[in-house]
Amino acid sequence: MTKRVAAIDCGTNSLRLLIADVDVARHALTDVERRMEIVRLGQGVDATGMLAQDALERTLRMLAEYAGQIAAADVTAVRMVATSATRDAANAADFSAGVHAALGITPEVISGGEEARLSFAGATAELAGDGTGGSPAPPYLVVDIGGGSTEFVLGGNGLAPASDLAAISVDVGCVRLTERHLHSDPPTAAQIRAAAADIDHALDDVAAAIAVGDARTLVGLAGSVTTVAAIALGLPAYDPALTHHARIPAPDVHAVTSQLLAQTHAQRAAIGSLHPGRVDIIGAGALILDRLMQRFGFAEMVTSEHDILDGIAWSVAAGE
């Protein structure tokens, strides 16, 4: 049976809404509405430990707009998940109260492990096959590069229970690393080395926590990954129909990363496939992707436009 549900993902950098018709039995998800706004809720959280007032106001204004769309779509259930920025903030209660006023629900400030599980479900529910005929083969390592953290989850089945997955969340993300290290325009070699050292330290934790070597396919999620894919594909403008399930070789990821880190803000802003809200943070996001592919020896990445947002929708439809 098809259910119309709404899912909201509030990350460190972006706020996203998915209204979808979901049939769990048929493993089918059909978009009704999908949108994304850069609200930068996690602005300054790493330094201050607080959600900035202007960031809260930006986010809550957009949630009020989302609420109108949800009401008009006649959905059966809504779930909102909040990630790294609100895990870290001392004034998270102010955020929760504002969300309840706008949507009538309480946001779930989930753990890194739950974030990883939802990302895995969203990214891999549509993937099927054993590697024959060139299809992406399980086990999958799903990597979700966010603003404040990056999630890694290893598993073999898109809708598997959490007990069948191995996951870890590490505190490196495109906003966090930019604020910590990449201050010059363009970043200096020393700043890039410092950011890379943070990433490599986090990857040590990943290697200790999950058997990355068991993975046959790397699946990359979220805006940093899909933007790198769009640039690697040479797209004049961002087109999710072309980036979804695109396979990007490791040398291309490295070349794009080197390009972005060498460019000025103005040069990056001129890239047609780069969202204006990602211009200042894309270098850090690309560096995370490049370092992990080199560290774990992945020859290519499968890009997915379906991620934690879709995983939230699957969970709502399944009655979780």
Parts of the chain belonging to CATH 3.30.420.40: 2-111
pTM of the shown model:
0.77
In what order do the strands lie in the sheet containing 217-221?
166-170, 150-155, 140-145, 217-221, 300-303, 247-249
Q: In this predicted model, what pLDDT tens digit does every residue of 72-116 receive, in sequence order?
A: 999 999 999 987 667 678 888 899 999 999 999 999 988 767 777
Comma-separated ranges of CATH 3.30.420.150 domains in the chain: 113-303
Q: Tell me which residue of 10, 77, 79 sits closest to 42, measured CA to CA.
A: 10
Fold of 2-111: Nucleotidyltransferase; domain 5 (3.30.420)
Question: For residue range 150-165, what is the model confidence (pLDDT) as tens digits?
Answer: 989 999 865 555 667 8
Which structure tokens are listed for 79? 């779930």
Tens digits of per-residue pLDDT, 265-311? 999 999 999 999 899 999 999 999 999 999 999 999 999 998 889 99
pLDDT of 146 reads 87
Nearest CA among 88, 107, 213 for reference residue 152: 213
pLDDT for 20 equals: 96
The full DSSP string for the chain is -EEEEEEEEE-SSEEEEEEEEEETTTTEEEEEEEEEEE--TTTTHHHHSS--HHHHHHHHHHHHHHHHHHHHHT-SEEEEEE-HHHHH-TTHHHHHHHHHHHHSS--EE--HHHHHHHHHHHHHTT---SSGGGPPPSSEEEEEE-SS-EEEEEES-TT--GGG-EEEEES--HHHHHHHT--SSSPPHHHHHHHHHHHHHHHHHHHHHS-GGG-SEEEEEHHHHHHHHHHHTT-SS--HHHHTT-EEEHHHHHHHHHHHHHS-HHHHHT-TTS-GGGTTTHHHHHHHHHHHHHHHT-SEEEE-S--HHHHHHHHHHTT-
What percent of the chain is modeled with pLDDT above 90? 66
Asked if the peptide bond before residue 240 counts as cis, ω within 30 degrees of 0, the response is no
pLDDT tens digits for range 125-135: 777 655 555 67
Q: Within 10 Å of residue 227's Cβ, how many Cβ atoms?
A: 25
CATH annotation of 113-303: 3.30.420.150
- The residue written with tokens 């590069």 in the block is 145
